[in-house]
Amino acid sequence: MRGKPIYVELDIAADMEAIWEHTQNPQLHRQWDLRFTEIDYLPREAPEEPQRFLYRTRIGFGLDISGTGESKSARSAVTGEGISTLAFGSEQRISLIRRGGGYWRYRPKGQGVAFSTKFDYATRFGALGRLLDTLVFRPMFGYATAWSFDMLRIWLERGIAPAVTLQRAAIHYVCVLTLTFLWLYQGIVPKLLFPQGGELQLLRAAAMVPAAAESATLRLLGLAEIVLAVAILVGHRSKSLYGIQSLLLVSLAIAAIAAAPALPASPFNPVTLSVPMLALAYIASRTATDLPSAGRCKRRMPPDSVLRSK
């Protein structure tokens, strides 16, 4: 059994001509669509013939998935709507997708266009292929489509080229993942697993809690850092969260140095940890703006949505 067709819709505040050009021109299309590395149109013998094309997608480890397809586009002079139907497929044995089809739809809406797609495909490798598609590939394919649509929106609305957006996103997520790891590590390893390694002594030196409550307090601090790590991962677009994190970093560093004035002279100390984390938080905060989000797209198919495929 096939999974549900993939549907993505996004309102873009740009004129129809710009959206049409950025989606129908292969040189522009491949810049914002994560699903394709290359798209090359083949010559047509007659204007009324479908546009045939070749596509290629890098999947890593030096491997490419290539295939062929054809599309046919039409626009209504009465309603201003546009439709572009698509059929595609790959003969490569390593390609999970055997063949598929769908459409792009362009509907004028207010000062912009409601741009949507719906497509489905058949897979290889029998029941194993269908299971892999349902659990992994189809969700990833749908997410990549929605993320790409929002990258196109940013390009058209904000004038930020996809190459810049991709670079900003890479920097942002590297910072977020690094911060998440560091907070998790600090919360789990020195506070929950090995409190005798130095954290407990620092808490005792600070003399801020009764001796009977030191272990419990240290565990609570560890759990708080774990919660903060999860919050950063989930709410990484919130600039205020980075402000809270920075305030906490400075406070913890000051408290540790106040409890042990000689601590900054040691090889690994609060300064060498806090300053890089503050820098990572600043970069993550700065790159959180104009970051594509698949969540901006509608993923539920409207009742009147019909799969148009060849």
pLDDT band per the 50, 70, 90 thresholds, residue 2: low
pLDDT tens, position by position, 85-130: 999 999 999 999 999 999 999 999 999 999 999 999 999 999 999 9
**Is 208 inside any structural domain?**
yes
| Bridging pattern class, strands 6-12 and 82-89 | unpaired
User: Are the C-beta atoms of residues 126 and 1 closer than 8 Å to each other?
Assistant: no
**Is 221 inside any structural domain?**
yes
Q: Do 132 and 179 reside in the same domain of the chain?
A: no
Per-residue DSSP letter, 309: B
User: Are the C-beta atoms of residues 34 and 175 closer than 8 Å to each other?
Assistant: no
**Is 305 inside any structural domain?**
no
Q: Report the mean per-residue pLDDT for the chain.
A: 89
Q: Do 86 and 126 reside in the same domain of the chain?
A: yes
**Is 303 inside any structural domain?**
no
Lowest mean pLDDT among 97-101, 228-232, 301-305: 301-305
Q: How far apart are CA 206 and CA 211, in angstroms?
A: 11
User: Are the C-beta atoms of residues 102 and 141 closer than 8 Å to each other?
Assistant: no
Q: How far apart are CA 151 and CA 292, in angstroms?
A: 5
Q: Of 166, 164, 186, whose CA–CA distance to 174 is shortest?
A: 166
Q: Do 112 and 182 reside in the same domain of the chain?
A: no
pLDDT of amino acid 3: 75
Burial bucket for residue 46 (CB in 10 Å: 0-12, 13-18, 19+): exposed
pLDDT of amino acid 310: 37
Q: Do 123 and 222 reside in the same domain of the chain?
A: no
pLDDT tens, position by position, 3-51: 789 999 999 999 999 999 999 999 999 999 999 889 999 998 787 889 9
pLDDT of amino acid 30: 93
**Domain range for residue 180?**
167-286
CATH number at residue 85: 3.30.530.20
pLDDT of amino acid 308: 42
**Alpha helices, DSSP H, located in the chain:** 16-24, 26-32, 126-132, 138-158, 162-188, 199-206, 214-234, 239-259, 270-286
**Residue 1 scores a pLDDT above 80:** no
pLDDT of amino acid 233: 96
Instruction: Considering only the C-alpha atoms of the chain, give the largest distance between any 2 of them, rounded to a whole number of Å.
Output: 87
- Look at the chain and count its residues: 310
Per-residue DSSP letter, 10: E
Domain total in the chain: 2
Q: Do 125 and 265 reside in the same domain of the chain?
A: no
pLDDT of amino acid 208: 64
Average confidence (pLDDT) over 175-199: 89
Q: Do 193 and 117 reside in the same domain of the chain?
A: no
**Is 1 inside any structural domain?**
no
Burial bucket for residue 242 (CB in 10 Å: 0-12, 13-18, 19+): buried
Q: List phi, psi (to 5°) of 58.
A: -80, 130
Residue corresponding to tokens 């912009």: 112
User: Are the C-beta atoms of residues 12 and 22 closer than 8 Å to each other?
Assistant: no
Q: Do 15 and 156 reside in the same domain of the chain?
A: yes
Neighbours of 4 (CB within 10 A): 10
Percent with pLDDT over 90 in the chain: 70
**Is 123 inside any structural domain?**
yes
More confident residue, 308 or 48: 48
Q: How far apart are CA 298 and CA 146, in angstroms?
A: 8
pLDDT tens, position by position, 131-154: 999 999 999 999 999 999 999 999
pLDDT of amino acid 11: 97
